[in-house]
Copies of this chain bind each other. A is one copy, B any other.
Amino acid sequence: MDRVRRYRLLLLPILFILKGSPVTADPPNVIIMLMDDMGWGDLGWNGEPSRETPNIDRLAAEGLTVPHMYTAAPLCSPSRASLLTGRLPIRNGFYSDNTHGMNAYTPQEIVGGIPDEEVLLPEALAARNYTSGLIGKWHLGHRDQYLPLKHGFHSWFGAPNCHFGPYSGITTPNIPVFRDDHMLGRYYKDFAIDKNKGVSNMTELFIQEAVEFIERESSKGPFFLFWTPDSIHAPTYSSPHVRGTSRRGRYGDAVKETDAGVGAIVEALRTQGVDNNTLIFFSSDNGAALVSKEDGGSNGPFLCGKQTTFEGGMRAPGIFWWPGVIPAGSVSYQVMTHMDLFSTVAQIAGAEIPSDRIIDGLPLYNSLVHPELEILRPVFLYRGDRLMAVRKGSYKMHLWTFSTPTDELARGINFCPGEEIPNLTTPIPTNHTGQPILFNIEVDPGEKYPLSRFTQEYSKQVTELQQVVSDHEAQLVPGEPMLNWCDNAVMHWSPPGCEALGECISPPESNPYLCFWDH
């Protein structure tokens, strides 16, 4: 029984939302633009005072804005894995249980990656003859079996990991840049990034590759482009002709160049005459990394940032654009998560949604074309393997809270700089399951004024949300954690293609160890 049919049986009131299918003989192209560490408040459309994102703002003005869009995790790798699988990290394995409730991701010493058993969006779309391309950062594991072309993508230009570096090549090799299944070179060596000046032409390349992909694929059939430039992630960078042109310093320059890329991509669609047959979704993988200080972005009115399950960590820009199909200038108050993208895109393409597993995303095509529709559904906010909070309707209930560990604060690391809410931005993981903290997140998006536990509103909502949580937990079968083990031998010593370039380095002896996740 597929997901849609199961919902029909269980949730009669939402029948209208999920019924029917937009499948046509001519399924649309799909572009998912996923920014890296860009904050909700970095868009002019979302109030950034310098208003330097005219192309993204135009996308929003011509499309649908979803202000209540959540990422599936407060950091990169699990967020991306969940968007592509439609499943929570706790299911698809993008977590660690080395330490409970800590964020894990895929540095280059990680052993694990996306399991073969997971069905990724490009794999689901393959049955509908989509050609899928990834341009930008991957971050779902970098050992051979985890690379994009093993998981449904037909082409790739970009890197498997963050552009951190430069590395010596002795203790840590520089991150490779791939073309499809082989490396083209390495960051800092063959693909220059000047960290001091914040200069690199990588975004320019990612834009050019995207335009060429569109030019190449538009005439052939439906395509799926996953566009994931990483210049907004610290250390931020922009091309020499952009660096110094924004009003917001090097962070603003990175945003500005990425915005120009959005414009170039839309322009390419128009030039190819496929703009009316292309769905664009624009978002970011998590909230702005406030820990990066001036080299990080803005989460607007929201509390804290990346790494946290406060709104600033997991509320992301949400823009859908599909001229002639999605009403221009519309707003949907539907509470959505990135995981809905998997189900919604599959639904739109007429592709099968796997029926042999729990898919957390909902197929929400009807909510895109009828923005007035709203399904009351929960969104679960995890930090690692721990359910921290749940959002449903206007309410958000915190079961656990955690901001920045005290020892990291002492080292200048702060995920909530300048912000302190008593009993909420706690420096140690704090258990509130006995007396959850409840917010009306529409009235109080900044999570400043917990509802009094002496009110009927509190009792009613907490009781209801606790039931939602126990239903969720009763059904939950965690996937095997893929981010437990690290090993320096799995680093990018000798990526595929290194021989031809003479860039292979002998790896050290394998010495697996439990990765340490400190927050």
Give the interface of A toward B (CB within 8 A).
Answer: 40-41, 43, 45-51, 61, 65, 67-68, 247-249, 251-252, 293-294, 298, 300-301, 303, 331, 333, 394, 417-421, 440, 442-446, 448-449
Q: What is the CB-to-nearest-CB distance from A496 to chain B, in angstroms, rounded to a whole number?
A: 41
For A300, what are the chain B residues with a Cβ–Cβ distance below 8 Å? 41, 47, 300-301
B449 with A294: CB separation less than 8 A: yes
6 nearest A-B pairs in the assembled complex, by CB-CB distance = A47-B47, A46-B47, A49-B67, A249-B443, A418-B448, A247-B442
Contact of A445 with B49 in the complex, beta carbons under 8 Å: yes
- A251 contacts which of B45, B333, B443 (Cβ < 8 Å)? B443
A49 and B336 alpha carbons, distance in the complex (Å): 14
Q: How far is the CB of A318 from chain B (nearest CB, A)?
A: 11
Cα-based distance from A61 to B51 in the complex (angstroms): 13
Q: Which residue of B lies closest to A333 (CB)?
A: B247
Compute how far the CA of A333 lies from the CA of B50 in the bound complex, rounded to whole angstroms: 8
- Known pairs A300-B300, A419-B420, A420-B420; list 15 more (Cβ under 8 Å): A40-B47, A41-B47, A41-B301, A43-B47, A47-B47, A50-B333, A50-B442, A51-B65, A51-B67, A248-B442, A248-B443, A249-B442, A298-B301, A300-B301, A418-B446
A65 CB contacts on chain B under 8 angstroms: 51
Contacts of A420 in B (CB 8 A): 418-420
Query: What is the bound-complex CA distance between A448 and B445, given in angstroms?
Result: 20
A375 to chain B, nearest CB (A): 16
For the complex formed, measure the closest distance between the CB of A112 and the CB atoms of chain B, giving whole angstroms.
36
Nearest CB of chain B from residue A18's CB, rounded to whole Å: 24
Evaluate whether A442 and B49 lie within 8 angstroms (CB atoms) in the complex, with A301-B301, A394-B247 already known: yes
Q: Pull 10 A–B residue pairs with CB atoms less than 8 Å apart, ordered by A.
A: A40-B47, A41-B300, A46-B47, A47-B300, A48-B301, A49-B68, A247-B443, A248-B443, A298-B445, A418-B421
> Considering the chains assembled together, what is the distance between the CA atoms of A463 and B449 in angstroms?
41
What residues of B have a CB within 8 angstroms of the CB of A247 in the complex?
A: 333, 394, 442-443
User: Given A47-B41, A418-B419, A419-B418, is A443 in contact with B298 using a C-beta cutoff of 8 Å?
Assistant: no
> How long is the Cα–Cα vector from A404 to B248 in the complex, in angstroms?
30
Q: Which of B50, B251, B301, B421 contacts A47 (CB 8 A)?
A: B301
Residues from chain B with a CB closer than 8 A to the CB of A421 are 418
In the docked arrangement, what's the CA distance between A284 and B496, Å? 60
A294 touches B331 (CB 8 A): no
Given the complex of chains A and B, what is the CA–CA distance between A61 and B45 in angstroms?
11
A253 to chain B, nearest CB (A): 11
CA of A301 to CA of B417, assembled, Å: 13
Residues in chain B near residue A61, CB distance under 8 A: 61
Q: Is B440's CB under 8 angstroms from A249's CB? A: yes
Complex CA gap A252/B333 in Å reads 15
Q: Is the CB of B249 within 8 A of A293?
A: no
Nearest CB in chain B: distance from A302 CB, A: 9
Q: Are B68 and A331 in contact (CB under 8 A)?
A: no
* Nearest residue, chain B, Cβ from A49: B67
Taking the closest CB of chain B, its distance from the CB of A172, in whole angstroms, is: 29
- Please measure, in the bound complex, the distance between the C-alpha atom of A300 and the C-alpha atom of B50, giving whole angstroms: 13
Question: A443 to B246, alpha carbons, bound, how many Å?
Answer: 10
Residues of B within 8 A of A394 (CB): 247
Q: In the complex, what's the smallest C-beta–C-beta distance from A428 to chain B, in angstroms?
A: 19
Closest chain-B Cβ to A93's Cβ sits at a distance in Å of: 32
Report the minimum CB–CB distance from A457 to chain B (whole Å): 11
- Identify the closest chain B residue to A47 (Cβ): B47
Residues of B within 8 A of A298 (CB): 301, 445-446
A421 to B332, CA, bound (A): 35
Q: Which of B293, B331, B417 contacts A51 (CB 8 A)?
A: B331
| Beta-carbon nearest neighbor of A303 in chain B | B418
Chain B residues with CB under 8 A of A418? 303, 419-421, 446, 448
Q: Hey, which chain B residues are within 8 Å of A443, CB to CB?
A: 247-249, 251-252, 294
Q: Which residues of B contact A50 (CB under 8 A)?
A: 67, 333, 442
| Docked-complex contact A417 and B448, CB < 8 angstroms | yes
Complex Cα gap A61–B329 (Å): 12
A417 to B43, CA, bound (A): 25
When distances are taken between beta carbons in the complex, the residues of chain B under 8 Å from A41 are 47, 300-301
The CA of A440 and the CA of B250, in the complex, are separated in Å by 13
Residues of B within 8 A of A49 (CB): 67-68, 301, 442, 445
Q: Would you give the shortest CB distance from A514 to chain B, in whole angstroms?
A: 35
Which residue on B lies nearest to A247, using beta carbons?
B442
Among candidates B43, B419, B449, residue contacting A293 with C-beta atoms closer than 8 Å: B449
A249 / chain B contacts, CB cutoff of 8 Å: 440, 442-443
A68 to B50 CA separation, bound complex (whole angstroms) = 9
Shortest A288–chain B CB gap in Å is: 10
Q: Specify which chain B residues have a CB less than 8 angstroms from the CB of A442 in the assembled complex.
A: 49-50, 247-249
| Least distance between A270 CB and chain B CB atoms (Å) | 19
